[in-house]
Structure 1
Amino acid sequence: MSIPAPDEALTAAWETTIDDAPVALSACGDLLAVAGAEGTVTVLKTATAAEVGEFALPGGALHVALAPDARRLVATGPMGYALWRREDGRTTVHETRAWSSAAAWANDERVAVASGRRALVLGLDGEELWATEPAASTVTDLAWQRQGRRLTVAAYGAVRGHERHTTKPVVTYPYIGSHLALAVAPTGRWICSGNQDASIHIWRTRDGSELTMSGYPEKVSRLAFDDTGFWLAADGAPDVTVWDFSGKGPAGTAPRSLRCHETITALAWRPGPAGHLASGGHDGTVALWRATAGRPQSQLHPVRTLEGDSAVAALAWAGPELLVTAHQNGHVSAHRLPSRTTL
């Protein structure tokens, strides 16, 4: 198999270094947030990498998420969470001593954070609006459905749906196992969990019917739907697998396989319907794919690759033409791509 040589045709927009080991990125509007393992959260301008703000989350960081209007930011970590306000840089830290690995904005005014065995829904200044009842174990991931009206929460044994202000779930999707990642289709038709037992479990929201894709050689800890909701990318193997959720869904079908990395460390779909995917590997390589090309069981090759000097820690698209890459050694860079219809 031949892999394209590193592609110098991509325009390097900027490069910077943060004094921490990046673990997560979030891009929204004109801002980019970089979270580091030791708890440093740096906010940059996406166009220039000029620093807008910085704060520390005690105990380290695991996740970061900008609000849709880029006026607020939430960071989560092993010891709690923090909210940052753009207009004056004020940071409110909540040291809850509860593991917090995920956060998701419902809109510009509400954000959900995992906090131990519960999910908390917070207002703009961090005030608690409501919380779910405790799950059987630590909440590992969460997502919003129905335009921010239903919160979907993953923890051992089940994925549960909570309507606004409902402590108890209004719907439960049981699955005996540890959920590591959650992906909800933008169409609302599908809920998928990536699991410790090396499987992907799928529920159709309309009727609760379910399907398990098993046989992965490793645990599945990264899942991502594209903007159409028709394509799901997953790790769990040296190949990225891309499943077709159009029509009746993936039952009885085979995925496309994208081979470039020995170990996958990041996945990010390009905004829009073109089916372009970026993946990162432990070897520092970033690969760009036409991930929906070919037929089921096709083995696809990267269209372009970029080489880094340490493992890829996170990827984020700042709009359809700017791809941001963070590496474990603290290097963060942005590359400008051709129009959204080409790679």
Structure 2
Amino acid sequence: MPTVAPFDIEGHVIATHFLGDTPFFATAAGELRRLDEGEKVTPLHAGMLTCIKDPFSASLLTGGEDGKVMRVAADGSSKLIAEAPRKWITVVAGGPQGAVGYAYGKASIIVLPDGSTKEFGEERTVEALAFASKGLRIAAARYNGVSLHWVSTNTPPTDLEWKGAHTGVTFSPDGRFLVTTMQENALHGWKLDGKPGEPRHMRMTGYPSKVKSYSWSPKGKWLATSGAPAAIVWPFSAKDGPMGKAPLELGTRANIMVTCVAFHPAEEVLAIGYIDGMVLGVRVGDGKEALLRRPGNGAITAMSWSANGKLLAFGSEAGDCGIIDIAA
């Protein structure tokens, strides 16, 4: 039976991540709190707006209302990566070879490992950034689509157009697909490895609310999303991804909305967080469910697994946090 170690934080928790076996909790007030032989606090921003785990290194990247972009190591030490005075940094991304991307207004800025920068301008405000897993290529989500830029060359961007506001962006782990969350209740995707003339667009609709959380399965076979009274899980293993295929619906709970999803790092097991604070574990293969945490205070806004997959950290909009030991 899983055990839950509660951890209360005052205020809204915007993200939780593991670096090694150490869980970090990021607060909207601008602090990073980590459980490392007791609670340790790292003040970072005068208001934190985003905190992500760099997929290419053992560090976190944060952006704040103070215009700063910070990198945080597992011991809590922090380094200033960039600063844009009087700008709010809501968008950061980690890339290969230590590159860092951030955005404000209509500009995407890439900080390269040697400290030099490269800037790309868009016609509309940049809402999200993501690096491809191979090569220094970055996707910038904006109104009416996504721009793909090669960072190390001066070639013109590839524009992927689709009407509407695109608010989040992610490459599939194998790089064959690009998917965006939208301001409307939908996802949109593009097949990147198709031949000229092949259908490239993927429309993933039918959500009753906006998709604010998504997670790829370890090998990229599935993409799980929030935005419904179940986790909506789209299949991506076929040549054309989810085109013409229905998604799985896991952890259905009548009219109680899913607010957060997080795939296990090694198994096709999905952690599902709900608006009432409950956390459920579901195995994709057979839909078997395990209650990981009973309903609590506030909607689940953040979840992450430890590297070994034995611990699951969660945080809520009410600061109701904890660590679930699924091996207990």
Q: 1:102: Cα distance to partner?
A: 2.9
Partner of 2:50: 62
- Say yes or no: does 1:239 pair with 2:230: yes
Partner of 1:203: 190
Q: Which amino acid in the other structure matches residue 260 of structure 2?
A: A
Q: 1:236 to 1:17 in 2, by over 3 A?
A: closer
What is the aligned counterpart of 1:36 among 22, 27, 34? Answer: 27
- Say yes or no: does 1:310 pair with 2:310: no
- Say yes or no: does 1:77 pair with 2:69: no
Q: State the Cα deviation string for residues 76-112 of structure 1 (Å, max 9, x = none).
A: 1345233145478355372533343232221462221
- Say yes or no: does 1:267 pair with 2:261: yes
Partner of 2:314: 325
Q: State the Cα deviation string for residues 285-335 of structure 1 (Å, max 9, x = none).
A: 011111x225xxxxx563224123332121011121110011223233112
Q: Which amino acid in the other structure matches residue 43 of structure 2?
A: F
Q: CA separation in 2, counterparts of 1:30 and 1:138?
A: 37
- Say yes or no: does 1:180 pair with 2:180: no
Q: 1:284: Cα distance to partner?
A: 0.7
Partner of 2:99: 110
Partner of 1:145: 132
Q: 1:177 to 1:128 in 2, by over 3 A?
A: farther
Q: 1:68 to 1:43 in 2, by over 3 A?
A: farther
Count residues in correspondence.
Answer: 317
Q: 1:218 to 1:328 in 2, by over 3 A?
A: closer
Q: 1:225 to 1:167 in 2, by over 3 A?
A: farther
Percent identity for Structure 1 against Structure 2: 26
- Give yes or no for contact 2:292–2:324 (8 Å, CA) kept in 1: no
Secondary structure of the residue aligned to 2:145 is strand
Q: CA separation in 1, counterparts of 2:156 and 2:272?
A: 35
Give the alignment's TM-score, normalised by structure 1.
0.82
Q: 1:123 to 1:73 in 2, by over 3 A?
A: farther
Q: 1:49 to 1:131 in 2, by over 3 A?
A: farther
Q: State the Cα deviation string for residues 23-52 of structure 1 (Å, max 9, x = none).
A: 11222324433221222223443xx5542x
- Give yes or no for contact 2:212–2:260 (8 Å, CA) kept in 1: no
Q: State the Cα deviation string for residues 122-163 of structure 1 (Å, max 9, x = none).
A: 2569x4521222x23322222111425211121111112111
Q: 1:54: Cα distance to partner?
A: 0.5
- Give yes or no for contact 1:65–1:103 (8 Å, CA) kept in 2: no
Q: CA separation in 1, counterparts of 2:120 and 2:203?
A: 27
- Say yes or no: does 1:156 pair with 2:148: no
- Give yes or no for contact 2:49–2:65 (8 Å, CA) kept in 1: yes
Tell me how large the CA RMSD over aligned residues is: 2.7
Q: 1:179: Cα distance to partner?
A: 1.1
Unaligned runs of 5+ in 2: none
Unaligned runs of 5+ in 1: 1-8, 295-299
